[in-house]
Amino acid sequence: MYVYMDTSLLDLFLSLVRINAVSGSEKPVADYICNFVRELGLTPRTDSANELSGGNTGNVVIPVLGGGDFLLMAHMDTPRPTEGVKPVLLEDRVTSDHTTILGVDNRSGISAILWALKYAVDHSLPLKPFTILFTVCEETTLAGSSFFQPDPQITHGFVFDSHLSPGSFVSETCGAIAFTLKVRGQSSHAGVAPEKGINAIQLAAEGMRTFPFGRIDATATANIGIVRGGTATNVVPDLVELEGEIRTDTLEAGEKLMQQVMADFEKAASERGGSTECVWHWDFKPYCISTGQQPYRRMVKLCEALDLKLEGVKSMGGSDANNMNAKGIPTINLGVGAKNPHSTDEFILYSDLQTAAMMALKLMTEI
């Protein structure tokens, strides 16, 4: 395992975290990346993913030697602003001063890939043909990876984006259904004629009484996180809107649970004269990479080469890897050591950042 820190890698990481670019505003990072790889003699392009994301740039796509048969990926957005970030360099790690996030998610992944690419070029190492993809809006909608249309020659991929330590990787995830449920009643004056109204809040409460909040079992969770309704205290509300999610290991289980939720709310509403309507979609679909598939096999060799402990784990979260698998490209999400992501306590160990960069380098050149 690598326990030192190349100063050029640290400088690159610090430069990237100082660029403020939340979801939908990734253009400054995209411009930085494009300038960086042009100086290495490569030709990046920006696609039209912003048509889907509504942001100010698309994905950055960098074909190396024709694009090859595999992808290396990271995302350009951070979940919260890094404007004014003050990196603090401690003995074994870099953090922020805890007034902002550091941006390890996912400036660490970008740094690892770009450093490895530059190292290979500067040291005249023979590169394999492959494609680099830096996506937009991973933190919000996965719009970048949803929009991306991979070349038919691409057979597998690696995402540098997990909080896990290098050597560990996400080989399996759940999928997530997002839903918006409208519960309709009948408005009336709450003081003068309450009996003429049908209180949508009451109907929604009845429906939520049977909703399976929290962890359902080892493979499923459900939540309603947003509730909106009502206009005034003297008006019987005629509309309540709820937003929630269901996470399951399989498409069948998720869709069956979604149908049950819809039926329960409709029953609760109709019994009191109300009605419901629901719109839902898969935010991301589940995947499971077996030991015999190409990214898993290469990961085994990678860990052997770098003396890392191999560990494939299941995650209840989603990433760009989910969309790549949904497109028929077996893809795993590699641990890069981005600890405490999304919080002001984010940090990354120097050794983990360096190891992640070495993983990228080995994939580009040897493994």
In terms of domains, do 132 and 27 share one? yes
Per residue in 182-191, pLDDT (tens digit) is 999 999 999 9
In terms of domains, do 232 and 91 share one? no
Q: What is the pLDDT of residue 240?
A: 98
Closest CA to 353 of 14, 99, 100: 14
309 alpha carbon, distance to own chain's centre: 24
- Residue 78 and residue 22 in contact, taking contact as beta carbons nearer than 8 Å: yes
Give the SS3 label for residue 174: coil
7 alpha carbon, distance to own chain's centre: 29
On whether residue 103 sits in a domain, the answer given is yes
On whether residue 216 sits in a domain, the answer given is yes
Q: Say what the pTM is.
A: 0.92
Q: What is the pLDDT of residue 279?
A: 98
Nearby residues of 180 by Cβ (< 8 Å), 6 or more positions away: 241, 242, 243, 278, 279, 280
In terms of domains, do 17 and 157 share one? yes
- Residue 117 and residue 132 in contact, taking contact as beta carbons nearer than 8 Å: yes
In terms of domains, do 258 and 329 share one? no
Residue 142, both tokens: 């996965």
In terms of domains, do 68 and 202 share one? no
Q: How far apart are CA 190 and CA 188, in angstroms?
A: 6
On whether residue 140 sits in a domain, the answer given is yes
On whether residue 2 sits in a domain, the answer given is no
Average pLDDT over the chain, rounded to an integer: 96
Write down which residue in 284, 309, 324 finishes a domain.
Answer: 284
Per residue in 290-315, pLDDT (tens digit) is 999 999 999 999 999 999 999 999 99
Q: How far apart are CA 24 and CA 57, in angstroms?
A: 8
- Residue 116 and residue 296 in contact, taking contact as beta carbons nearer than 8 Å: no
pLDDT at 217 over 50: yes
In terms of domains, do 181 and 167 share one? no
In terms of domains, do 331 and 271 share one? no
In terms of domains, do 74 and 107 share one? yes
**Number of domains the chain is built from:** 2
DSSP state of 219: T
Alpha-helical runs (H) found in 288-343: 294-306, 320-326
The 3-state DSSP composition of the chain as helix, strand, coil percent (nearest 5) reads: 35, 30, 40
Q: How far apart are CA 314 and CA 161, in angstroms?
A: 15
Mean pLDDT of 44-70: 97
On whether residue 279 sits in a domain, the answer given is yes
Q: How many CA atoms lie within 13 A of 146 on its CB side?
A: 17
Per residue in 107-118, pLDDT (tens digit) is 999 999 999 999
pLDDT at 96 over 60: yes
Q: What is the pLDDT of residue 3?
A: 53
In terms of domains, do 264 and 152 share one? no
Q: How far apart are CA 251 and CA 254, in angstroms?
A: 5
Return phi, psi of residue 120, to 5°.
Answer: -65, -45
Per residue in 169-207, pLDDT (tens digit) is 999 999 999 999 999 999 999 999 999 999 999 999 999
Write down which residue in 225, 250, 284 finishes a domain.
Answer: 284
Write down which residue in 253, 284, 315 finishes a domain.
Answer: 284
Residue 365, both tokens: 């050149």
In terms of domains, do 138 and 199 share one? no
Give the SS3 label for residue 200: helix
On whether residue 149 sits in a domain, the answer given is yes
In terms of domains, do 194 and 137 share one? no
Q: What is the pLDDT of residue 1?
A: 44
Beta strand residue intervals within the chain, DSSP E: 45-46, 60-64, 70-75, 88-89, 93-95, 130-135, 156-162, 168-173, 175-184, 188-189, 214-217, 220-229, 235-236, 239-248, 275-284, 287-288, 311-315, 331-335, 347-349
Kindly report the CATH number assigned to the domain that includes residue 260. 3.30.70.360
Nearby residues of 104 by Cβ (< 8 Å), 6 or more positions away: 17, 338, 339, 341, 346, 347, 348
Q: How far apart are CA 121 and CA 143, in angstroms?
A: 31
> What is the span of the domain harbouring residue 189?
175-284
Closest CA to 322 of 150, 176, 119: 176
Q: How far apart are CA 260 and CA 230, in angstroms?
A: 26
In terms of domains, do 186 and 272 share one? yes
Q: How far apart are CA 278 and CA 274, in angstroms?
A: 14
On whether residue 274 sits in a domain, the answer given is yes
Banded model confidence at residue 5, pLDDT cuts 50, 70, 90: confident
Closest CA to 348 of 173, 162, 167: 162
Per residue in 133-178, pLDDT (tens digit) is 999 999 999 999 999 999 999 999 999 999 999 999 999 999 999 9
On whether residue 273 sits in a domain, the answer given is yes
Percent of the chain at pLDDT > 70 equals: 99
Kindly report the CATH number assigned to the domain that includes residue 126. 3.40.630.10
